[in-house]
Chain A
Amino acid sequence: MVPNLNSNKLSTLLAQDIPDPTDFPKESSSLSHLDTATRCQICSNFLEGPVTISCGHCFCSVCIRDFMASSTSRAQCPTCRTATSETQIRPNPGIEEVVTAWKLARPYILSLARREQEPAEGPANKKRKLSHASSPCIPGPSRTPSTESRGGLGNLSSDAPEGDVPKADAVVECPLCAESMKYRELNTHMDNNCSSGKPSAPPSKSQKAQWSDIMGGQSKAKGKAKEKAAAEDDYLPKVSYDTLKEKQLREKLASHGLPTTGNHKLLAARHQRWSMLWNANLDKSAPNRQSKNQLLKEVKKWEEDRNAKKKKTEVDKSHLVTQKAEFDRLVAAARPKKAGAGMDDAEVVSSPPPSKSSFKSSEDDVIIVDSDDEEAA
């Protein structure tokens, strides 16, 4: 049924060591619970760019975006079915940190858990001895920095003793940039991020710039410059592809460096996939993000997978063509019977559905059926 999920792939995949909550021995079920908790419930991999939606449930960004984009699903949480929408997707860097840390710790903890499984060779108190031996070492180094920091604090307080406020004309050192200045200028100096002189001019300027940013930029050149600078970490908006002409779509794709081949449907699908991957990538914290080139490669791979699937349906069409004569013959054979007496249920193949039937049959085999007890009394 599915060409690229054949049995060869199964054996290779199963032979691979895919990390899984069941890796942990049964005795340490709490660990496999922890392992499950760090995984996405949709793809069951470790959460990648975890996001939360309005109900608080957490998924990989790509997974939940893919789910919300799929035509069959209404916008609801896959876990609790609370209504939600794409605009409510928020990155969850806290969980991301947890997952990263767990991935790092996992091999070590796994080896510990497995070692625990094996029959203990030495006496148990050997471990205890080890931990005893190491324990006196721990407070040693930790104590020294703490006394040092206390000393540091003491130094600071002696430099600027509380309550001793210098006079307004006294020359003081800025505690941030160590520049000397009169005490009464110190506050404005610090308010302006330690910029020296002209304390009043820069803020009004930046304020103006900020407002023009908010209002969309009055001067075109400025707006464009800002657009370019921000392009690297801005979410891509949702596009209503049906309202766009093919040419506009191609321009959009080209601006991201994507291929511009194919018909309207393919162009739209490609752009949609790109926006999804792009936005999902932004949900990751900066060090975990993929480069634009990697994302482009992923779109390419996705398109190849898609094409592989399409080929399969093309084969089906060719089958329709080659078998057309046979189908026509069958249709012709069925027609006269329909005109004749045949309302007999035994002739299942040829008899037409009863007129009072409660279903509609359309060309693509979609049948609406009511399976319920209507005579329930």
Chain B
Amino acid sequence: MASIASKRLAKELSEIKSEGCPVGILLLQADDFSRWIFSIEVLGDSLYQSEVHTLQFRFDPQYPISSPAVQFVVTDGKEAPIHPHVYSNGHICASILGNEWSPVLSVIAVCVTIQSMLASCKEKKRPLDDRMYVRNAPENPKKTQFEYHDDTV
């Protein structure tokens, strides 16, 4: 149902353009309905002060029934934030991007969730299995079956 996906994304885009993004989030690129790029920054007192990261959304025709593929951009000199749930290839282990995705969530809602995930971080480090995961990771993070235990961060 490609038409539902594009209609819904058109609505989200027009809302972003008319009402703007929440603080610290900026829409960098949305040329089509398959890939959007945001910049994300944690404002206020946090471990990630003055860091700006780039977040990429990819949508399939089943959106919003199926979740968008969300990851940090790690090319062109950009880096993923160092966080226990963010792998160095930009993949993010967050339940709302996987089995807890709900079609009432939106692109902006995901941005805000990831922003708050960074803001509440207590210790800057990579996931324990980062090297192993990155070596074998599929290109699309949606193909990974993450296990979610840690609700604290």
Contacts and interface: CB of A to CB of B under 8 A. Distances in A.
Interface of A: 1-2, 4-7, 9-10, 13-14, 18, 20-22, 41-45, 63, 66-67, 70, 72-74, 78-79, 81, 302, 305, 308-309, 345, 348, 353-354, 357-359, 361, 364-375
Contact of A305 (B8, B61, B133): B61
Given A369-B147, A371-B85, A1 B101 contact: no
Interface stretch (B30-38, B41-49, B72-80, B110-118): B30-38
A359 B14 contact: no
Interface centre among A5, A70, A302, A354, by most chain B C-beta atoms within 10 angstroms, is A5
Given A5-B6, A13-B10, A370 B129 contact: yes
A372 B143 CA distance: 19
Nearest to A374: B128
Contacts of A9: 6, 32-33
B120 interface: no
B59 A70 contact: no
Interface string B114-153: 0000000000000111011101111000011111011000
Contacts of B28: none
Contacts of A370: 129, 147, 149
Nearest to B92: A371
6 contacts: A4-B61, A5-B6, A22-B18, A361-B136, A371-B85, A372-B149
B33 A70 contact: no
Contact of B103 (A13, A22, A67, A364): A67
A306 B15 CA distance: 29
B115 to A, nearest CB: 19
Given A345-B131, A357-B132, A367-B136, A14 B13 contact: yes
Contacts of B144: 366-367, 369
A73 B8 CA distance: 19
Nearest to A351: B135
Contacts of B66: 70, 72
A41 B11 contact: no
Contacts of B5: 5
In which size bucket is the chain B interface? 35 or more
B34 A1 contact: yes
A371 B61 contact: no
Given A6-B32, A359-B133, A367-B138, 20 more contacts: A2-B2, A10-B33, A18-B11, A18-B14, A20-B15, A21-B15, A22-B18, A66-B1, A67-B65, A67-B103, A72-B101, A79-B102, A302-B1, A305-B3, A308-B2, A367-B136, A367-B144, A369-B147, A372-B147, A373-B128
A267 to B, nearest CB: 20
Given A13-B6, A44-B8, A81-B102, A369 B133 contact: yes
Contact of A44 (B11, B33, B146, B150): B11
Nearest to B32: A7
Interface string B99-112: 11111100000000
B93 interface: yes
Contact of A371 (B8, B18, B58, B127): B127
Contact of B7 (A43, A345, A368): A43
Nearest to B58: A1
B34 A20 contact: no
B129 A369 contact: yes
The 3 A-B pairs at the shortest CB distance, nearest first, are namely A371-B93, A41-B104, A365-B138
